[in-house]
Amino acid sequence: MSAHRSTYHFQSFDNREEAELLRLREQALMGWNNQFRTMVGLGLQDGMKVLEVGSGPGFITEKLLEDLPGSEITALDIDEVLLNGARQRLSHIPASRLQWVQASVYETGLPEGQYDIVIARLLFLHLHQPLEAAAELKRVLKPGGKLLIVDIDDGIFGAVHPEIDLLHSLLSKLTKRQAASGGNRHIGRGLPRLLTQAGFADVDMDACVQHSDLHGIEGFKRQFDIERFTSPLKAGLITESEYEQLSRSYAQFVQSPDAYAMMIYLLASGTKPE
């Protein structure tokens, strides 16, 4: 586990692995076109040699393959179970277009100067040493190549209607807990500095919105699913009565015909100097 040096361990989902996969799937697919457009705005182009790090279940890998028909993609993840699942689902894709690597982002084992772009989506918030990871990704980029990080920031997470009582205080507790175990749910705001400190030039940033009126509400229901909060309950982060209150608000959100939710992603890019 030490090679992870991150706060995301798929195995820790115990008997909720299937639900977590569905959540990741919805989170990847909802509003993908919007996110892809923002990636293109920051320099992603068809034909580029792409490395996707923390590719996990491969839902983003699949979309990248569809939208970059002239690109060769390498998908890297540390988790054998996630990687094997993705490999099986995408086994029809020829090796000339898709390669799999099981490794840590800190030590990819990949040769230097190979990639036009590295994409890291929802990985950096989990990393204990983000600067070390960024340095390794810079090493594998070609001079002039880009690191593109897609992440969140709980400070500007988004909005939910009807309001889910306690959601904001719960998010703030989760942020503190994640920080205590080495992650950072406020990573979004720190991305420009991170890229600059890692020696990237032309640092740029943009935001991208997932909105249920545009992209459907089902994925958001999974995102706020009350079942996800049993672990904070077990960890003593929230009390039984707070959990009950959350359950009631969640039920109201799910049942309301007027429900909507919006979530903001932050995308930052930097270029490896020539």
Q: State the DSSP string of 81-138.
A: HHHHHHHHHTTTS-TTTEEEEE-BTTB--PPTT-EEEEEEES-GGGBS-HHHHHHHHH
Q: Which residues contact 95 (CB under 8 A, 6 or more apart)?
A: none
What would the two tokens of residue 240 be? 């039984």
Instruction: Note whether 55 binds ligand SAM by CB under 6 A.
Output: yes
> Considering only residues 42, 65, 110, 122, which one is a binding residue for ligand SAM as defined by CB under 6 A?
122
CA-based torsion, 56, 60, 66, 71: positive or negative: negative
Instruction: Note whether 50 binds ligand SAM by CB under 6 A.
Output: no
> Considering only residues 23, 26, 28, 146, which one is a binding residue for ligand SAM as defined by CB under 6 A?
28
Residue with the two structure tokens 């995102």: 223
Site string for ligand SAM, 80-119 (x = CB under 6 A): --x---------------------xxx-------------
> Considering only residues 26, 30, 51, 54, which one is a binding residue for ligand SAM as defined by CB under 6 A?
54
**From the CB of 16, what's the least distance to ligand SAM, in Å?**
14
Name the β-bridge partners of 107. Answer: 104
Beta carbon nearer to ligand SAM, 4 or 97: 4
**From the CB of 258, what's the least distance to ligand SAM, in Å?**
29
Residues in contact with ligand SAM, counted by CB under 6 A, come to a total of 24
Instruction: Note whether 200 binds ligand SAM by CB under 6 A.
Output: no
**From the CB of 94, what's the least distance to ligand SAM, in Å?**
22
Q: What are the two backbone dihedrals, phi and then psi, of residue 128, each rounded to the nearest 5 degrees?
A: -70, -35
Cα 259 to Cα 154: distance, rounded to the nearest angstrom: 21
**From the CB of 63, what's the least distance to ligand SAM, in Å?**
10
Q: What angle do CA 267, 95, 40 make, to 5 degrees?
A: 20
Instruction: Note whether 152 binds ligand SAM by CB under 6 A.
Output: no
> Considering only residues 4, 37, 63, 177, which one is a binding residue for ligand SAM as defined by CB under 6 A?
4
Looking only at the bridges linking them, the beta strands covering 260-271 and 201-211 are: antiparallel
Residues forming the site for ligand SAM (CB under 6 A): 4-6, 8, 10, 24, 28, 53-56, 59-60, 77-79, 82, 104-106, 121-123, 126
